[in-house]
């Protein structure tokens, strides 16, 4: 009888059992739980979001934006702290074993940003079945710019990201090297589809997306947000922008879209520059007033530029007349689902070969061209 029972159990295997990904039909809704892990190599620091198992439990992570404030800045302004923002992701959660490897999306942050700056966007895409990788770009990070607000500048002031070569290009190369290695061994081994990789970015990161995406055929889909220009290469592209963005003119976005060989433009009507990030939630203007009030050593030119950048598209602020006439910014609770929806359907069509792709009519506040 014992021999019979053993024969009926079948062979013992250590192969992990795939956990199917069942997604809501509304592309703006999150799907699976999302795990997040930090990867540090010799060349780059990355945050990686990924679909997590349904067994995931515990508290979701609070983003530590204070870690991006430089020592010189903290010495100058005292003991300060950003608001606590819940990212909705679970630190080092178990990986959801895929039925087939997950496509990958790289994200490049903007000037004065950090790798965590658009965590709603990166987490959402991960919840829909992607591994999403965002790197810090030293030379155009928050910690590089804040010391430049003082006269004389504090130690660590770096404005090269505004005027020099794009510091992110080498970072993207290092991200690709890590990706190829991670697909072969370690936590993500066998779970990453290195043949289907998209590139996305916000503001200066949109510029990186266009430049690097033009030069590197590894990227089979490009999604620049709140940026300038368009790729010359014949590659599926979705340009996204806000019509009330004072840093990226709406007319420029339309002209760029007309030059696309394969792609669309989604104009979020009334959105400003930061509608594609979570930076408004840091209340940068309010904190600037709290931390820097009545200081005589502020560089008014640099401070004014950074303050404008920190508020463009945020609640409680008004668009510049040149950018948007007498309109008000579209509320973020309205623009966020639009960004989620169109980024998801675009990458689904281009990286997963699934769904209808970008179509007009999903939202009255979005114009699709």
Cα distance between residue 266 and residue 342, in whole Å: 8
**What percentage of residues in the chain have a pLDDT greater than 90?**
90
Residue 9 — very low, low, confident or very high, per pLDDT cuts 50/70/90? Answer: very low
Residue 6 — very low, low, confident or very high, per pLDDT cuts 50/70/90? Answer: very low
Domains and CATH numbers, the chain: 22-368 (3.40.50.1820)
Q: What is the pLDDT of residue 284?
A: 93
Q: What is the mean pLDDT of the chain?
A: 94
pLDDT, tens digit, 9 for 90 and up, residues 144-172: 999 999 999 999 999 877 777 899 999 99
Cα distance between residue 338 and residue 14, in whole Å: 42
pLDDT, tens digit, 9 for 90 and up, residues 68-115: 999 999 999 998 999 999 999 999 999 999 999 999 999 999 999 999
Q: What is the pLDDT of residue 2?
A: 37
Token duo for residue 298: 């502020």
How far is residue 363 CA from its own chain's centroid? Answer: 22
Q: What is the pLDDT of residue 136?
A: 98
**How big is the chain, counted in residues?**
369
Q: What is the pLDDT of residue 8?
A: 41
Record the pTM.
Answer: 0.94
């Amino acid at each position: 009888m014992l021999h019979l029972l053993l024969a009926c159990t079948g062979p013992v295997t250590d192969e992990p059992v795939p956990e199917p990904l069942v997604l809501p039909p509304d592309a703006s809704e999150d799907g699976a739980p999302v795990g997040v892990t930090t990867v540090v190599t010799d060349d780059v620091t990355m945050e990686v979001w990924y679909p997590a198992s349904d067994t995931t439990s515990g508290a979701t992570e609070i983003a530590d934006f204070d870690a991006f404030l430089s020592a010189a800045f903290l010495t100058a302004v005292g003991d300060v702290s950003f608001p606590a923002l819940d990212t909705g992701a679970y630190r080092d959660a178990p990986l959801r074993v895929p039925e087939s490897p997950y496509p990958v999306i790289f994200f490049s942050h903007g000037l004065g940003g950090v790798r965590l700056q658009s965590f709603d966007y990166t987490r959402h895409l991960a919840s829909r079945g992607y591994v999403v990788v965002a790197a810090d770009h030293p030379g155009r990070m928050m910690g590089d710019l804040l010391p430049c607000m003082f006269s004389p500048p504090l130690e660590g002031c770096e404005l090269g990201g505004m005027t020099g070569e794009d510091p992110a290009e080498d970072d993207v190369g290092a991200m690709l090297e890590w990706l190829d290695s991670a697909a072969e061994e370690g936590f993500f081994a066998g779970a990453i589809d290195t043949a289907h990789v998209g590139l996305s970015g916000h503001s200066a990161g949109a510029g990186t997306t266009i430049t690097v995406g033009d030069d590197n055929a590894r990227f089979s889909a490009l999604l620049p947000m709140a940026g300038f220009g368009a790729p010359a290469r014949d590659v599926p592209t979705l340009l996204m922008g806000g019509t009330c963005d004072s840093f990226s003119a709406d007319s420029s976005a339309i002209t760029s879209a007309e030059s696309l060989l394969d792609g669309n433009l989604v104009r979020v009507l009334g959105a400003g520059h930061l509608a594609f990030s979570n930076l408004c939630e840091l209340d940068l203007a309010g904190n600037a007033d709290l931390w820097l009030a009545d200081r005589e050593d502020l560089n008014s030119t640099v401070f004014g530029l950074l303050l404008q950048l920190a508020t463009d598209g945020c609640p409680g602020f008004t668009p510049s007349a040149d950018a948007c006439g007498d309109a008000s910014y579209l509320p973020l609770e309205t623009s966020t689902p639009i960004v989620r929806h169109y980024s998801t359907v675009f990458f689904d069509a281009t990286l997963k070969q699934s769904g209808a792709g970008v179509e007009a009519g999903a939202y009255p506040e979005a114009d699709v061209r």
